[in-house]
A and B are shown apart, each in its own frame.
Chain A
Amino acid sequence: MLQVKNLTKIYEGGVKALDNVSFEVPKGQFLAVIGLSGSGKSTLLRCINRLIDPTAGQILWDGEDITAASPEEMRRIRRKIGMVFQHFNLVHRSKVITNVLAGRLGYVNPAWSLLNRFPREDLEKAVKQLERVGIADKADHRADELSGGQQQRVGIARALMQDPNMILADEPVASLDPVLAHSIMKHLEEINKTDGVTVLCSLHFLDLVHRYADRVIALNQGQLVFEGHPRDIDDKKFKDIYGRDAERVG
């Protein structure tokens, strides 16, 4: 259970990215986060694993206060939260398998990382995750030799390496074509359904939200403007979320 309470983030320079946002996500839910570009979706997701420090508010995860965690506690919390990015954020010059293994860094003793050594079980696990997302044959390729869809699968495999209880997906399909978008979303759905991993996924396209999400929250200029089931987004709600001039397509 993830509880976000009165979360506010004001960037240096006074931009209010999040304004008193509160919501709850039960364990195992697939939650979609929608909103215009700049509405605070990315900031919200990054506050949850403290890549960005919130200005005020509280985030509780299974009762543990993430916002008050010390650096060492944060390391333990983060390794249970996988993250998938819009631009995949793979290390281009490293091999695919190394990128996947990086998901274990929260578990591995830093002294061993200095020697670039991972335990054998991790290596086996990494191959298994690559098989799960269907690109085991690319393990020894350099990450930048892969296509966009393949790179995002590596990103998912990296998140899976963490044995996550929750996955934060920051517009995971925004730089992919519609066919690839569905295949990536299906992977996330499969992880959500089989492993019971909570998924918070920010999305642009409402048809994807309808197809995959259990619940949806919407942000507009940092404020929570909608919370509920995807099918409850009618034309009025739509205009609340996306602005008066927006038009529904598709």
Chain B
Amino acid sequence: MNNKKSSPWKSIQIGLAVLLGLFIYAYGFDVTKVDLQELRSERRQESLTRVTRTLAQPDIIGYEQEQVIVNAPLYIPCPAADELSNLPKADNARTYLTIEPACANPGETVLVEGFNFPANAGGPIRFVPGNDPANIVELGRESITTDGDGHFTAPFLIPERTSNAPQYIRVTISENIGAPHFTQNAKDTWDKIIETVFMALLATTAGTFLAFPISFLAARNLMKSVRSPLTSAALSVLGWPIGMGLGYYIVNGIGRFSIPLSDNLAVSLVSVILVPIACWFGFRWALPQEEISVPSSSKRLARILVLFVVILLAFYGFFQLAGLASSLSLSMEKGMGAFGFLAAFLYQVSDILRIITPALGALATGGALGSFLGQIGQRAAEKNPAERVKVINFVLGAVAGATVFGLIGWMLEWFYQIGRIEYTFWGPILTGAGLGLLLAGFTKPKDTLPTGMLIYSITRTILNALRSVEALVMAIVFVIAVGIGPFAGMMALGLHTIVSLAKLYSEQVESIMPGPLEAIQATGANRLQTIIYGVIPQIIPPYISYTMYRWDINVRMSTIIGFVGGGGIGFLLQQNINLLNYRAASTQMIAIAIVVASMDYISSVLREKYV
């Protein structure tokens, strides 16, 4: 094809494209209301100048101030001659003002001269109306500056205020005394910036921990090879919810039994010491490090039982640990003085432990039952003849489909409160069962389904959906859940960190070298071992790098999350902007700039060093 050939049609095309571009930008100008006229207007210029100048004088350092206030009397207009001499004479030994002449008509100018004022200081010179030197009302916008001897002369325009009695001209000069100190605003800013940095730290830590496992589920190269027969997949789909319910129920039961016991310090202390030891020996027996021969099935059963007991014991231990930590922290808090926050930390950690233990139990049991039933399904699909597997698949497919859709229906009912059982219970269950039957019908009995890719797609979808919600918006939801304050901001940032880091991490997992993975697999390692020995060593540097980058982002985000009530310095900044207190706001802006810049520097240094 000859590119150089020009044709009228091509020229017209270019012309149209340019016109279209013009049109788009013109519309853009209109929509964004670009208006330089407004910028040029004097009113805007003046406020801009004022605000910029205020911003350039952040409210950080202040002095104790002493005000020297001197009033000098004068008549407006001039009275009879003898009354003038009634004016009190200034005391020449101290700070004093002279007014020349001592009486004038409105619109005339008098000369005010001051003596013995603080040297090189300034302040307003104003008219005090109404015959009372103590009157707090002052008129006028003039100001004066004293010279090195504390002396000044200034002309003063007499205002339209006439009276028979003397009125006053007042000079107020403020003098800084004592050493400079940080203003209250600076102290508040410091408190809040610390809050901000720690908010970012906690959010990043929590996010990193949770994003780490999720990132493997969202990595295509790891999930693609995960395939299982329908029998196994259906049984594991059944195992998860049943296991989670069962686990939650059992662990809560342990809690009900254990929490009252933990009020007794001796019991909880003994439990906390003995339980880990018992668990350790239990685990060592039930999970031998290496086994050359295949164990007998009775031995396997015994092991599973021991593991079960050990896990129950471990949960009992968790509750006792939480109880011990909270009773310790309660007794320590008073004795620790300034370090009381350590005891409070201990208490909160024990509370977190108490709350997450049942959830942990539910997850663990769900996972255990899911994978156990999955393995049974795997074996059933392998060992049985195809016709029998087909029948099993039909039954299990229907039940699993019904369960999944039943759960979805229950969720819909919770959200929308439809209240009609045929829509939220029977409908979903029948649909699910039907879809399960269809799937079982169309799958060859011994074929494997791409379960890994299914999990991958679901994880990715959830991650992408949540990632598109800004942390600022999430903070609004969390403010409703846990109240205004840094905790809400931390939760919002944490959630956003989980989803965005999980995505970034999983992309790193996808770009690792496949060779070592293959080699580890070839040694007979299972999936978990392949990840630990083949994947994790490869992804550590990018993970560290991304975590630091995310911390950086979180510090920046946490500076503004206070705008919606999420705590941190943003709260203060917004307040001061709304109060038109620009000098204070300027301090906060500087603080943000310093923190963000130093974070940037620190993370780049660390990255260079460790990555």
Contact = CB atoms under 8 A, between A and B. Distances in A.
Q: How large is the interface on A (under 10, 10 to 19, 20 to 34, 35 or more residues)?
A: 35 or more
Contact of B538 (A76, A93, A102, A119): A93
Given A71-B378, A79-B524, A112 B289 contact: yes
A122 B516 contact: no
Contacts, number: 112
Contacts of B283: 111
A121 B382 CA distance: 36
Interface stretch (B149-157, B469-477, B528-536, B572-580): B528-536
Contacts of A49: 522
A91 B534 contact: yes
A92 interface: yes
A83 B522 contact: yes
A85 B513 CA distance: 14
A75 B534 contact: no
Interface in A99-147: 102-114, 116-119, 121-122
A113 B291 CA distance: 14
A89 B518 CA distance: 8
Contacts of B292: 107
B39 interface: no
Interface string B277-309: 000000100011111101000000000000000
B519 A70 contact: no
B356 interface: no
A89 B514 CA distance: 8
A158 B519 contact: yes
B277 to A, nearest CB: 17
A218 interface: no
A97 B378 CA distance: 35
Given A71-B378, A108-B289, A119-B290, A91 B524 contact: no
Nearest to A83: B522
A105 B519 contact: no
A75 B532 CA distance: 17
A158 B533 CA distance: 13
B225 to A, nearest CB: 10
Contacts of B294: 76
A106 B523 contact: yes
Contacts of A89: 515-516, 518-519
B379 interface: yes
Interface in B497-525: 513, 515-516, 518-525
Contacts of A98: 533
B378 A105 contact: no
B532 A116 contact: yes
A108 B523 contact: no
Given A91-B538, A109-B290, A85 B526 contact: no
B178 interface: no
B98 to A, nearest CB: 85
B289 A119 contact: yes
Nearest to A71: B378
A70 B379 contact: yes
A111 B528 CA distance: 9
B292 to A, nearest CB: 7
A78 interface: yes
Contacts of B513: 92
Nearest to B527: A110
B537 interface: yes
A82 B521 CA distance: 11
A102 B520 CA distance: 7
B540 interface: yes
A113 B532 contact: yes
Contacts of A246: none
Contacts of B528: 110, 113-114
B522 A51 contact: yes
A103 B534 CA distance: 12
26 contacts: A51-B518, A71-B378, A75-B524, A83-B519, A91-B534, A92-B513, A93-B538, A93-B541, A98-B533, A102-B520, A102-B523, A103-B523, A104-B523, A105-B533, A106-B524, A109-B287, A112-B287, A113-B525, A113-B528, A113-B529, A113-B533, A116-B532, A118-B289, A119-B290, A158-B519, A162-B524
In order of increasing CB-CB distance, the 10 nearest A-B pairs are A106-B524, A79-B524, A105-B525, A89-B519, A78-B524, A89-B515, A83-B522, A91-B516, A119-B289, A113-B529
Interface of B: 283, 287-292, 294, 378-379, 382, 513, 515-516, 518-526, 528-529, 532-534, 537-538, 540-541
Interface of A: 49, 51, 70-71, 74-79, 81-83, 85, 87-94, 98, 102-114, 116-119, 121-122, 155, 158, 161-162
Given A93-B537, A93-B540, A162-B524, 4 more contacts: A93-B538, A107-B290, A108-B289, A113-B533
